[in-house]
Every structure is written in structure tokens, then in C-alpha cells.
Structure 1
Amino acid sequence: MRWKGSRQSTNFEDRRGMSSGGKLALGGVGGIVVLLIGLFLGGDPQQLLQQLQPMGTQTSGPVEISAEETELTEFVRVILASTEDVWGTIYASAGEDFRPATLVLYRDGTQTGGCGMGASAYGPFYCPADEKVYIDLDFNDELRDRFGATGEFAMAYVLAHEVGHHIQKLTGAMDRVQAARQQLSETEYNRVQVMLELQADFYAGVWAHHANKQSEVHLEYDDIRDGMDAAAAVGDDRLQMQAQGRVVPEAFTHGTSEQRAYWFKKGYDTGDVNQGDTFSDPSLQ
């Protein structure tokens, strides 16, 4: 993919010199469960992040950033700018104003604006309370080494997925899912969470569809394949099998590898936001 020299988003906070000075202790659920939910990408940060309690104090000061991380920082800011261009155009075509999300880069841990304490172990996440996407760039190594998702576009997919959650915040879908929590059993709510996550994958595909025409980023066919591979790499079935050697469908919260790759590709193939109503799709009921 071609991105160097393209516009970098200014909706950006760099907190890498303000990481937690202590460790994070897990609350009411087992550590492995919290870790895996975080690595599924997205999750429900209002529920999950509050299960981490900070131990120690916040510290600030200069941090050492390698040339590789500097380039990755530029990359995610370019991708964020591309999502702003694409979604801004989509919203404008519907006669609406688009309110962009803010990207926060941090290390180890950071306080969110309403979703509790964020931790690197969760992987990237979106906090609807402050409309910010939080990423520790070390997750790029996780994508490559743990999940086998290679290529620059793997991280682009991750960011586009989190921006997809921001779109859900703007459309009200995320609030409706939250409101349904008290009326549904755990298994039923997990199924609705899957629909929410797959729609975010779809929105990531919609961005990829329009990126070449509506932003300075240029994608190629291999990039889309990398995106599908990244989506499949973080499927519930694959992660459960890695963690516990078996698959528990009723505990799925993000969808199978096949489902995640399918909805990303559907978004890319159609580019039509109206084709992404996962909540009404018969196959997900």
C-alpha cells in the first residue's frame, strides 16, 4: 500500500511519556479471560477496563521512540486521516456532519475518559464515553508474532475496525446494544455483541472500498487479503482454541474467523453502509 507523504490526522494524543508507573491488577475475572477479550479487538471497554485496578502512580517524562515506531506512528495517523476523509464524505453525501474520533497512543496503561483504566494487554480499543481509540503500538508485534497477521494493512484494519465502533457510537447502535444488556441473558447478549463487532468489521471494509478514491492512501489487492487474514486471525473460535484447546460458541463475543473475514470483505465489495445491518442478518440470529 502507498501512504508515505499523505496527510496525518491532527486528532491525535501522544501519551507514551505518561504511561502507568505501576502494574495493573485484575479484578473479578481471571486474567486469561480479560487478556483474551482484549486481544479480540474492540470488546466492551466500559465493562472490561473497569476490571483493571491501577497499582502505583502515573509517571511522565521523555520516552525513547525507535525509528520503526516513529514510522508506525506516522502510518496510523495517515490511516486515521484516511478514515476521516472517507467517513466525512459518506456523512456529507447524506447531508450530515461527521464528528471524528481521536487516536491516543500510550504505553503499558492509561486512564480513559469514562471507560476506566486502559491496559496494553487489551490490545486496541474504543472508548465510547470519550470517543477515543486507544492503541499501544506494541500490538503490531502481537499481530505479527502471535496471530500471524503480516503486512502493513493488518494494523490499518485494526484501526479502521475501532473507527467502525466510533461510527456505531454516532449512529446509536452502540448505545442500543448497551441498553439491551439488562434485558438479555449472557448468551443472548454475547450474540448481540457478535453482531456489533461484525458490523465494525464491515465498516472497516467500507473504508477500504472508498480509500483509494476519497483519501490519499492507495490500497492494492494484497492489502485487502491482509485485512481479511487479520480479521480471521482474531476470530473467537481461533482464539478460544489457542487459549483452551476447545471452542465454546455460546461464549463468542466477536464472531468466528470466517464471519469476521466475510463481513470485512462484504464492506469492501459493496462500499455501501446500508448493506451492513448485522443485527437483522438471519444467519446471526
Structure 2
Amino acid sequence: MTGRDFIILMLCCLGWGGNFVMTAWVVGINPVPPFMLALFRAGFVLAFMGLFLFRPLPKRFGRLLIVGLCVGPLHLGLLYSGLQTAPASASSIVSQSLIPMSTLLSVLFLRERIGWVRALAIGIALTGVLIMVYEPEALRFDIGMIYLLLAYVAMAVGSVLMRTMPEVDWRQYVAWTALLLFALSLVATSLFETGQVAAWEQAGWKLIVAALYSALLVSIFAHGQYFRLMQTYEVSQVIPLTLMTTLWACLLGVVFLNEKLYLRYMIGAALILPCVWIIARRGAVPPVQED
């Protein structure tokens, strides 16, 4: 991976990590229905990127919609449903299932090869993340955990499919994913959620700030560049680097939410950082081409 793309991916992870803090800042104080927040987020994305909906449709438009459905409404719908009951720390652990699932799918369907150096680095970095987020009392069975696992299955499938669309513009991907998310979030918040007016009255400008942050720094920048990087590099090279998201989320929580700096955070960081550099240095291969 080039130095430029490595820095871009690290900035994506910073954006994703900051989104956890931003959402906790809004939802933790004000009970904002999650699909209402997703609706605002998608609306802002469409306001900035909606013009790309009117470009000529890409050759693999059907596959683009499947990717958008997997990483947009399906992933977020299952994620939000799971987070309603699953403990936060346990949710962080389940989220790491994305790495082995996507790596396995890339080997099975994209015929990627995972050398022992990369495999070892992925394993050590994943261990570092688990050390950071592990809380034994949180690992109890909850139906929300099933929803979370399915959410990351959807994300893994969508991520692998991204690799098979090298010619699709990332801006079209962002726009169509936002349209799908907007439509399904509108239906979901109308049918399954209540208290939207009260949430707006309590959250007010904080809801707008959180939705704008998610739209600009997460959906447009982070997800857009993630899509581009997936077109360029192996799935097994890009996704393990997203482990930095957990590190950023913990550090930002300490700085902005006054959370406690645990020893396990420092141990986890010491394991993650060198492994992330090793994974990034593994050689990239050309995108998958299909007839």
C-alpha cells in the first residue's frame, strides 16, 4: 500500500472512531431513535452527493445496489437493532468478526493468498483489540448479539463485492448507498420508532452536528475512500487495518468524554500499531477483473 493511501485509511479510521464518540455524545444524553439519526445522516449525504445519482449508471449497477444494501441499510439496520440490547463492550468484540469473515470470503471467492507474515500480524493486532475492549461480565447471551453478528456478515459480503467493481466511481457508490439508506430509514423510523418530535426538541443542534459529522466525515469521506481502496488493494490487506478504528475510538473517548485510560488500552495499542504497519507494507495486487 502506498504511503498516501495508508494515511487516507488511517484518517478514515479516525473518522469512524470519532463517530462512536460523536454518537455517544448525542444519543447518550438525548434518547434519539437510531433510524431517525440514520435518516438525517442519509439526507445530508444526498444533499451533497445527490447529483451523482444522475450520472450514467455504471455497468454493474445491480451489483452496486447489492453492495449499497449490504453496507448501508442492512448493516446499519441490524447494527442499530443489536445495540438496543447488547452491551457496548461486547458489541466491540463482535465487530471484530468482520476481519476473519471478510478474509475467509476473500480467500474462497477472490482467491487471495494470505502469507504467514500477514496472518501473524492480523492475529496479533486482533489480539490487541480484544485486550482493549474485553470485559468478561459483558459477554452474556443477548439476542442483540445475533443481530450484531449478522450486521458484520452483511458488511463482510459487501466489502468483498466491492473488490469486484474496479471501474465504479466511489462518488456514485456513496450517493446510491445514501439513497437506499434514506428510503429504508424513513420506512423504519415511521413504522418502528416513536418519540421523534421529543428527540428533536431535546437534541436540537446536537442532532444536526452528529448527522453532519456522520454524513461528511463517515459516509462521504471514510466510506467513499474505503470503497476506492477496496477496488485497489486486497480485502485481506485493507480490512485488518481498520482495527485502528477501535484504537482511535478509545483514545478519543478518553480525551473528549473523560473516560478512564485503562492499562489494557496501552497494551492493546502497543500490539496494534506495529502490526498495522506490517500489514500495510504487504504488496498490493491488481483489482479483480471479470468478463
- TM-score normalised over the length of structure 1: 0.28
| Structure with higher strand content | 1
| Structure with higher helix content | 2
Larger radius of gyration: 2
- TM-score normalised over the length of structure 2: 0.28
